[in-house]
Amino acid sequence: MNYFVDILGRSGLLKRDFDYHLLRASMVIIFAWFGYDKWFQTEIIDLIPLIKHGPLIFWVLPLLGIKGTSIFLGASEWTYGSLLLLGFWNKRLGALGAFGSTLTFLATFTIMPFAPGAWDAAAGGFPAMTIVSGFLLKDLVLLVVSVYLLKQDLARVVEARCYANQRDPARSRNLTA
């Protein structure tokens, strides 16, 4: 067992921020891919039952229609993914992307209890999942990752601001005035 732990310890898994960067990269890929799908009306048509039952997004279809919803969701996901990508270099932009990502997955995860066909009636209903609830359950993990990235980025922005204020006390006085 010690041998296995030693190998993993030397592998780079313990490198500072490896997990943070890995999670950020995976979210960029997810937003790029899912955002791409949203540009096609067939994707939105498949999602209509979920969108209609979403307590936070039910308003999108009546307001924007199918095509508008497609554009809105695709553009939103690509925007948040782009901001997350830029977060590798600019933590303020990364925090903005993580905030948008948090809102996105909060909106989609809250659909789960209300989604038609989410619970397997043949198995007694809730908590027996169908593919619908399984599809939405992944958003819980994506929501948690989004909150983690938001926390990390905000902490780094605050830390950088404090460091800058320590280096230049006049700047600190100007910011509070």
Amino acid symbol at 67: K
Domain boundaries, the chain: 13-176
> Is pLDDT at 15 greater than 90 in this prediction?
no
The string of pLDDT tens digits covering residues 146-176 is 999 999 999 999 998 887 777 776 665 555 5
CA distance 87 to 98: 9
Tokens at 133, concatenated: 């609830």
- Neighbouring residues of 49: CB distance < 8 A, sequence distance ≥ 6: 115, 116, 117
Q: What sections of the chain are H helices per DSSP?
A: 2-10, 18-38, 41-52, 60-86, 91-109, 131-167, 169-176
CA distance 161 to 153: 12
Q: In the structure, what pLDDT confidence band is assigned to residue 6 with cuts at 50, 70 and 90?
A: confident
The string of pLDDT tens digits covering residues 105-118 is 999 999 999 999 99
In the prediction, which pLDDT does 174 show? 58
Backbone angles phi, psi at 54, to 5 degrees: -80, 120
